[in-house]
Every structure is written in structure tokens, then in C-alpha cells.
Amino acid sequence: MPFYILDREHVNAKLSTDFNNYPSGIVIPLDKPYKWTSADAVRKIKFMLQNFFKIRNIKVGHAGTLDPLATGILLICVGNATKEAEKLQQEEKEYLAEITFGCTTPSFDKEKEIDAYFPYEHIDKPLIETSLTKFIGEQDQIPPLFSAKLVDGKRAYEIARSGNSMELKPSKITISELNIVTYEKPLLVLQIRCSKGTYIRSLARDLGYSLDSGAYLSGLVRTSTGIFNLKNSVKIEEIESLLKQI
């Protein structure tokens, strides 16, 4: 039996308070709030579900980390659906990314202050289009230092925030689509389709360097992962409202 999907179509339907009625578990395509970590979302939803189902030991996890400064689809897996999390993570993902040219930050996004400035007036749309072709296909990508990558048993961001230096190994990733949505200097909006493990922050950094400039990720929305898309996702407030129906 497939897991129950608590999406836009079902968020106004009555949910059974008997968790045994969901033997394959539940998957929630959450529109993650800005500045929430993926772990924050899991904790919040777990607390609500524990109260709703009156079960203390309920398994809740997610299928693919989304950075705190990003919004959009984060798949929350509940009960036996947590066994499918790894499979769900393998699906292709799609993003809308805003990239700012002319400066860089240590985190490659807005988490850290700008640390360097570069010329960007020479960057026009044809130049960007030419450069984007270099990033299509399978490639090695170096993750950001401020990331959840494990280094000797520690998260890279923990080491970076402590001020210690390190070198991250490149990861194999695949980018299948890169389309310009808008470009008004110095802001570029890209539609991106890519594999699991792709860091859009690293893409922003690398694109800036390829254009003889600097760049950082100034905004990110995950618009789809596998069969799940942002249009059918639910907000945390809607889940709260649904789980208060008794």
C-alpha cells in the first residue's frame, strides 16, 4: 500500500486520529519557512503529530536537506514512510535561484557578510548563456565550507564556524537544465534542474568565477523534487490548522 500524501489536495480533508490507518506512513510536501533548518521543520511537525495521534514514539524525518535561507519543497516523512526517504532523495530537483554578481561571501549566500567585490558591468545575457553551457551534465562540484557535509565525523559548517580551515573533496553531481528567467544587472534568476547533492550556492560561486567576476546566492526556492511540486505543497500553518480539527 502506498504512503498517504498530505498535500494541497488533502490538507482540508479530515485526518484519522488512529495512526494505524496509515500503515505505509505519511509524506508531507512542506513549503519550508524562511530561516528554518530542515531539522526545525521535522521537530515542529513531530511535536504536532505526537499530540494529534497521541503517540510519543513516532518516526519523523526528511528526504533531502534544504538550507535555512532557502524556501520551498521539503519532504517530511512520517512512520514507515521514513523507510522511503533515501529513495525519495534520489529524485531530480528543480530550483529558482537568484544570483547576485559583483561580490562574494564566505558562505556563498546571505548567511555571511560580503567579503569581496568584483566588476560585473561586462556581464550581459549572451555571455551568461555561453557560460551556462559549461555547467550542463555530470561534473565534479566542490561543496561550500558552510554546508552539512561530513568531515572526519563533523559537519563542515561546525568546523568553518569555529574558524578552522579544511579542504572539501569534490562530489559528482549532474545538472540537466539551466535556463535564464530574468537578468537585470547585477541580479540573475535561473531555473535549475539537477541531481541530489547539488549545491546551488557552489554553482553561483563557480558561475561568477567563470564570468571573471564574483557571485553569491541571494535567494533560493526549491520548486519540485520528483513528483512533488511547490504548487501542491502545504504551509506549516495549514498543517497546524488541520491537526487542530479534533
Residue positions annotated with a catalytic role:
67
Q: Is the separation of the CB atoms in 25 and 81 below 8 Å?
A: yes
Say how far apart CA 104 and CA 86 lie, in whole Å.
Answer: 33
Phi, psi for 12 (deg, rounded to 5) = -100, 0
Say how far apart CA 108 and CA 92 lie, in whole Å.
Answer: 22
Say how far apart CA 206 and CA 141 lie, in whole Å.
Answer: 9
Which cell goes with 204? 553561483
Which cell goes with 218? 541571494
Say how far apart CA 81 and CA 76 lie, in whole Å.
Answer: 9
Q: Give me the amino acid identity at 100.
A: T
Q: Give me the amino acid identity at 28.
A: I
Q: Is the separation of the CB atoms in 224 and 90 below 8 Å?
A: no
Say how far apart CA 84 and CA 127 lie, in whole Å.
Answer: 42
Parallel/antiparallel/unpaired status of strands 215-225 and 71-78: parallel
CA atoms lying within 13 Å on the CB side of residue 201? 22
